Amino acid sequence: MSENTTPAGTAPTLLDRVPVVPVVVLHDVEHAVPVARALVAGGLPVIELTLRTPAALEAVERIAAEVPEILVGAGTIVSPRQAKEAADAGAQFLVSPGSTPSLLAAMDDTGLPSLPGVATVSEVLDLLERGWQEMKFFPAEASGGQGFLRAVSSPVPAARFCPTGGISPDNAPGYLALPNVGCVGGSWITPADALEAGDWDRVADLARAAAAL
């Protein structure tokens, strides 16, 4: 499982590439390439496509094939089957909202970097024992937010997090200031109305502002 974690002192890891990972829900596969290019133009060359819609896997394929300058990942991985499907589609990293032994094994089997989800100290310790140091903290705001992460930073300094769930431009700076947070995940960069309207300039502007956090 060593491929899923990078020892301190080596870089970059998933958590060190951008301050905000855009978490994107696409209903129209034709939006995949334009939104990816808009994010790159705005200075956020990472995208997490959530596997919540029928368009998601094809969107991963298109971005992987046509926008090589962006790191494309698949999120909301909730089953071993999805982990394999995402990898086969060309995903370059995987993100799950939680973690079970079978899900962790499936993500590990893909050979891709991954951010398994945690919401408790016991889950953090379990992932550390399995070799993961980088994790998704989800749902961040509902699970204690910045206070939780601040509290675990001293007793569990090896764990690093990408908080997602309830993150906004207003609270993102507070999360990013914590020593155990490498980046945050947010959906505000690609609002549904902008995607529906094909307003890629707006997406690029939102990405530009997020990249500056």
DSSP state of 115: E
Rounded Cα distance between 183 and 160, Å, is 9
48 is catalytic: yes
36: in domain: yes
Nearest-angstrom CA–CA distance, 202 and 20: 16
Counted residue by residue, the chain has a size of: 213
State the Cα angle at 189 between 185 and 107, rounded to 5°.
Answer: 35
Distance CA 156, CA 138 (A): 17
Check pLDDT > 90 for residue 6: no
Q: Is residue 146 part of a domain?
A: yes
pLDDT, tens only, 19-61: 999 999 999 999 999 999 999 999 999 999 999 999 999 999 9
More confident site: 11 or 194: 194
- Which amino acid would we find at residue 28? D
Cis ω before 139 (30° cut-off from 0): yes
> Given a cut of 90, is residue 65 above it in pLDDT?
yes
Whether pLDDT at 152 is above 90: yes
Residue 3 lies in a domain: no
Residue 122 — φ and ψ, nearest 5°?
-60, -40
What CATH number does residue 190 fall under? 3.20.20.70
Options 58, 136, 141, 196, the catalytic residue: 136
Residue 96 placed within a domain: yes
Q: So what's the pLDDT on residue 7?
A: 34
Report the alpha-carbon distance of residue 9 to residue 128 in Å, rounded.
Answer: 18
User: What per-residue confidence (pLDDT) applies to 207?
Assistant: 98
What is the sign of the dihedral through the CA atoms of 83, 98, 54 and 211? negative
Yes or no: say if 138 and 127 are a contact pair by the CB < 8 Å rule.
no
63 assigned to some structural domain: yes
Number of folded domains that form the chain: 1
Q: Exactly one of 3, 30, 48, 69 is catalytic; which is it?
A: 48
Is the predicted pLDDT of residue 100 greater than 50, yes or no? yes
| pLDDT at residue 138, as a whole number | 98
Residue 6 in any domain: the answer is no
Q: How confident is the model at residue 211 (pLDDT cuts 50, 70, 90)?
A: very high
Q: 11: pLDDT confidence band, cut at 50, 70 and 90?
A: very low
DSSP three-state, residue 188: coil
Q: Mention every residue, 6+ apart, whose C-beta is less than 8 A from residue 4.
A: 107, 108, 113, 114, 131, 132, 134
Q: How far apart are CA 128 and CA 123, in angstroms?
A: 9
Question: Of 137, 78, 124, 126, nearest to 103 (Cα)?
Answer: 78
Query: Is residue 2 in a domain?
Result: no
**Rounded Cα–Cα distance for residues 199 and 204 (Å):** 9
Average pLDDT over residues 133-143: 98
Task: Tell me, yes or no, if 84 is annotated catalytic.
Answer: no
Domain that holds residue 81: 17-211
**Predicted structure pTM score:** 0.93
Query: What pLDDT digit, counting tens, does each position of 105-132 carry?
Result: 999 999 999 999 999 999 999 999 999 9
38 domain residue, yes or no: yes
**Average of per-residue pLDDT across 152-164:** 97
